[in-house]
């Protein structure tokens, strides 16, 4: 019953066709439309010919676009750095210091907050950090502060804090998986050869777990750079990020070509950063020989 | 080997992860409209207020309709894609699978907006249906990931044995493969349900102001008077998702045990 390659190919294509057609119609086609819109001329709610690169030229010439892209990039990279640095010791603890039969339970405990309503978690931070919120009331009743701290109005730092909380569990799992793959006999060998535990960690464990660290960075970076709710709720909405700006351009100003061009540039930026992460990963895999 | 520093850090980390969620039950049962310490006494008023909120009921009903449809559709589309990619080699496999998994690496806002622009320009009215269409795009990659590992742990020889014994391709699938991957299917369904139920961006932009739970919650938190009943709602939702996820994890492990595999942990 060995199938010939051609009939296998036909069977495979037939089987995948419902899913493939769905994503082509609802994902590929819309993305292509955005790409085409971005080189068209247009005003409020309509697009027309001729094709032009003016939309991209305007993105380049007006500093506000660059500012929002750069701000989103820096916020997302900071959040990524914080979450990965905080997650590493946790993943290390679960991988190296928890009994094998208890590991699933620990991972489950860490992932639960991620699966509980994102909207509620972010809104709770708003209740806690907002003006006259729980934090302000507690600080004032304890006599630590005389007036409201109103941390939520601090804009970017508050956004970074809330995002770092929201995406924290994302980072633990990939690092944990790569730590699990580290051959324990290598560590013993290192210590037998007279390296201290710390040096063994730096020279063996850390480089070997780098693919997991980079995967974690990527998993945190992509949703944070495009986050919509947190910048809208925290920081009084005064620090819009990419997603908020796309909303303004496409839905409020209804400037489809300009909004599309901005969306395309944002996608490019996310893509370039992701490729850099992946290349870094290659280097580590190559470097470990 | 004990590692007190690491253990202490991990506990602090868990405390940080859970801290806002722990506040939910504390203030949901607190007899004060204002969220602050010290607590003023026990009450279930906020749960009663939540229960009597008619708009909330409509939103919850809409969310259930959406989440059930999205979970069903994504899991079905996921079965097609996962089965095809595990079982067959065919031309264009890498780009097709790449496109299916693309929403994992694309900011959700861009998925939502590109779909919205197309829907608006061909004159489709926004409704619960358009929300379902968009969320299926987001959930299918998760379904594919879960189902791929379920199909991978299948022993190919079982299938060949069934075919040798005279079963057709379809009856083999129904009698042998489907029961073996059933735990994976259930896990995929539950996880897609949870993702859809929580999802905000697509619900907000492709739903054109229809009351949907996540959108409704987001709106209500802005009114301080509404916050306690939202905390009550949050408490109920957190309990639900813990139960659902516990069940999903149980099914996943049972599936792995059934197929004779080894637990490698985690949903992702």
Tell me the domain boundaries of chain A.
Answer: 59-287
pLDDT of residue A3: 56
Q: Any CB–CB contact under 8 A between B240 and chain A?
A: no
Average pLDDT for residues A238-263, to the nearest whole number? Answer: 84
Subunit contact B17:A110, Cβ cutoff 8 A? yes
d(CA A170, CA A251): 31
Instruction: Using CA atoms of A79, A85, A86, A89 in order, give the dihedral in degrees to the nearest 10.
Output: 160
Window 40-59 of A: residues touching B by CB (8 A cutoff) are none
Contact B27, B35 (CB under 8 A): yes
Does residue B90 sit at the A interface (CB-CB below 8 Å)? yes
Q: Is there a contact between A19 and B13 if contact means CB atoms under 8 Å apart?
A: no
| Facing residue for B13 by CB, picked from A90, A141, A256 | A90
Q: How far is residue A73's CA from residue A223's CA, in Å, rounded to a whole number?
A: 12
Tally of residues, chain B: 268
Nearest Cα residue to A257 out of A78, A38, A12, A53: A38
Residue A100 at interface with chain B, using a CB cutoff of 8 Å = no
Name the DSSP class of A3: P
Q: Report the residue of A3, A13, A23, A94 to disrupt the B interface, i.e. the one with the largest count of B CBs within 10 Å.
A: A23
Q: Are the beta carbons of A123 and B230 separated by less than 8 Å?
A: yes
pLDDT in tens, A9-28: 888 888 888 999 999 999 99
pLDDT at A203 over 90: no
- A59-287: CATH topology is MetI-like fold (1.10.3720)
Number of residues in chain A: 289
Helix axis angle for A168-180 and A206-225, nearest 10°, is 160
Chain segment B3-31, per-residue pLDDT in tens: 788 888 888 888 888 888 888 878 777 76
3-state secondary structure of A255: strand
Residues in a beta bridge with A41: A48
Distance CA B212, CA B198 (A): 10
Query: Between residues 43 and 72 of chain B, which touch chain A (CB distance below 8 Å)?
Result: none
Q: Which tens digit of pLDDT belongs to each residue from A29-86? A: 999 988 888 887 776 667 777 777 777 877 788 888 888 888 899 999 999 999 999 9
pLDDT at A5 over 90: no
What is the rounded CA–CA span in Å between residue B10 and residue A92? Answer: 10
Q: What is the pTM of this model?
A: 0.83
For residue A227, give Cα distances in angstroms to A240, A244, A254.
Answer: 10, 8, 21
Contacts of A16 in chain B (CB under 8 A): 80-81, 84-85, 90, 93, 96
Please, are residues B206 and B218 in contact by the beta-carbon 8 Å criterion? no
Residue ranges of the domains in chain B?
A: 40-258
Residues A236 and A111 sit within 8 Å (Cβ to Cβ): no
CB of A134 less than 8 A from some CB of B: yes
pLDDT score for B268: 39
3-state secondary structure chain B: CCCHHHHHHHHHHHHHHHHHHHHHHHHHCECCCCCCCCCCCECCHHHHHHHHCHHHHHHHHHHHHHHHHHHHHHHHHHHHHHHHHHHCCCCCHHHHHHHHHHHHHCCHHHHHHHHHHHHHHCCCCCCHHHHHHHHHHHHHHHHHHHHHHHHHCCCHHHHHHHHHCCCCHHHHHHHHHHHHHHHHHHHHHHHHHHHHHHCCHHHHHCCCCCCCHHHHHHHHCCCHHHHHHHHHHHHHHHHHHHHHHHHHHHHHHHHHHHCCCCCCCCCC
Residue from the list B91, B118, B242 with its beta carbon closest to the beta carbon of A29: B118
Q: With an 8 Å Cβ cutoff, are B217 and A117 in contact? A: yes
Q: Report CB contact under 8 Å: A33, B114.
A: yes
Distance in angstroms (rounded) separating the CA atoms of residues B90 and B111: 27
Asked if B157 is an interface residue toward chain A (Cβ–Cβ < 8 A), one would say no
Say if residues A52 and A185 touch (Cβ distance below 8 Å): no
Q: Mind telling me how many Å the CA of B182 is from chain A's nearest CA?
A: 19
Written as one string, the DSSP assignment of A11-60 is HHHHHHHHHHHHHIIIIIHHHHHHHHHTTSEE-BS-EESSP-SHHHHHHH
Say which residues have a Cβ less than 8 Å from residue B109's Cβ, sequence separation at least 6.
Answer: A226, A228, A242, A243, A246, A247, B201
Is A85's Cβ below 8 Å from some Cβ in B?
no
Which range of A44-48, A95-99, A142-146 scores highest in mean pLDDT? It is A95-99
Say if B217 is an interface residue toward chain A (CB within 8 Å): yes
Of the listed ranges A187-201, B85-99, B120-134, B180-194, the one predicted with least confidence: A187-201
SS3 A288: coil
Chain A nearest CA to B235, separation (Å): 10
Flag if B237 and A117 touch (Cβ within 8 Å). yes
Q: Do A37 and B267 touch (CB under 8 A)?
A: no
pLDDT band at A288 (very low <50, low <70, confident <90, very high): very low
Minimum CA–CA partner of A232 in chain B: B218
Buried b (16+ CB within 10 A) or exposed e, B192-215: bbbbbbbbbbbbbbbbeebbbbbb
Q: What percent of chain A has pLDDT over 70?
A: 89
A147-168 pLDDT, tens per residue?
A: 666 666 667 888 888 888 888 8
Domain B40-258: top CATH class:
mainly alpha
Q: Is the separation of the CB atoms in B114 and A34 below 8 Å?
A: yes
Cα–Cα–Cα angle for B98, B102, B104, rounded to 5 degrees: 130
- Inform me whether the C-beta atom of residue B15 falls under 8 Å from chain A C-beta atoms: no
**How far apart are the C-alpha atoms of B215 and B199, rounded to whole Å?**
9
């Amino acid at each position: 019953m060995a199938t010939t390659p051609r009939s296998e190919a036909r069977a495979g294509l037939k089987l995948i066709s419902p899913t493939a057609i769905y994503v082509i119609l609802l994902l590929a086609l819309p993305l292509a439309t955005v790409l085409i819109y971005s080189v068209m001329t247009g005003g409020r709610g309509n697009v027309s010919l001729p094709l032009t690169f003016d939309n991209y030229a305007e993105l380049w010439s007006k500093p506000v676009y660059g500012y929002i892209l750069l701000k989103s990039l820096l916020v997302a990279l900071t959040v990524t750095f914080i979450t990965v640095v905080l997650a590493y010791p946790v993943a290390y603890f679960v991988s190296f210091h928890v009994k094998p039969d208890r590991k699933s339970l620990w991972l489950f405990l860490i992932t639960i907050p991620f699966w509980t309503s994102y909207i509620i978690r972010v809104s709770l931070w708003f209740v806690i950090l907002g003006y006259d919120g729980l934090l302000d009331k507690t600080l004032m009743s304890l006599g630590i502060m005389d007036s409201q701290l109103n941390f939520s109005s601090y804009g970017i730092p508050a956004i970074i804090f809330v995002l770092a909380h929201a995406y924290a569990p994302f980072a633990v799992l990939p690092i944990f998986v790569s730590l699990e793959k580290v051959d324990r006999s290598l560590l013993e060998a290192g210590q037998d050869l007279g390296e201290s535990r710390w040096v063994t960690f730096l020279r063996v464990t850390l480089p070997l777990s780098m693919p997991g660290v980079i995967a974690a960075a990527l998993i945190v970076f992509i949703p944070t750079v495009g986050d919509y709710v947190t910048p809208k709720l925290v920081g009084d909405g005064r620090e819009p990020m990419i997603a908020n700006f796309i909303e303004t351009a496409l839905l409020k100003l209804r400037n489809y070509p300009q909004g599309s061009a901005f969306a395309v540039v944002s996608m490019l930026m996310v893509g370039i950063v992701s490729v850099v992460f992946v290349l870094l990963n290659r280097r580590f895999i190559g470097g470990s020989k | 080997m004990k590692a007190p520093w690491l253990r202490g850090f991990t506990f602090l980390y868990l405390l940080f992860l859970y801290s806002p969620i722990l506040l939910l039950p504390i203030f949901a049962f607190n007899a004060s409209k204002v969220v602050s310490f010290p607590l003023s006494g026990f009450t279930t008023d906020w749960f009663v207020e939540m229960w009597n909120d008619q708009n909330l009921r409509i939103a919850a009903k809409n969310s259930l309709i959406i989440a059930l449809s999205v979970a069903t559709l994504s899991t079905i589309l996921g079965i097609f894609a996962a089965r095809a990619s595990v079982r067959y080699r065919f031309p264009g496999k890498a780009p097709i699978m790449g496109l299916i998994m693309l929403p994992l690496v694309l900011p959700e806002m861009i998925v939502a907006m590109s779909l919205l622009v197309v829907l608006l320009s061909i004159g489709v009215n926004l409704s619960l249906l358009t929300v379902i269409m968009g969320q299926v795009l987001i959930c299918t990659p998760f379904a594919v990931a879960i189902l791929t590992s379920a199909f991978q742990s299948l022993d190919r020889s079982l299938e060949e044995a069934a075919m040798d014994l005279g079963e057709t391709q379809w009856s083999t699938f129904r009698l042998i493969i489907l029961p073996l991957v059933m735990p994976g299917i259930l896990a995929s369904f539950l996880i897609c349900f949870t993702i859809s139920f929580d999802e905000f961006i697509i619900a907000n932009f492709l739903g054109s102001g229809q009351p949907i739970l996540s959108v409704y919650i987001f709106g209500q938190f802005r009114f301080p008077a509404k916050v306690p009943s939202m905390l009550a709602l949050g408490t109920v939702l957190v309990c639900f998702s813990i139960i659902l996820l516990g069940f999903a994890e149980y099914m996943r492990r049972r599936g792995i045990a059934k197929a004779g595999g080894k637990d490698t942990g985690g949903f992702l």
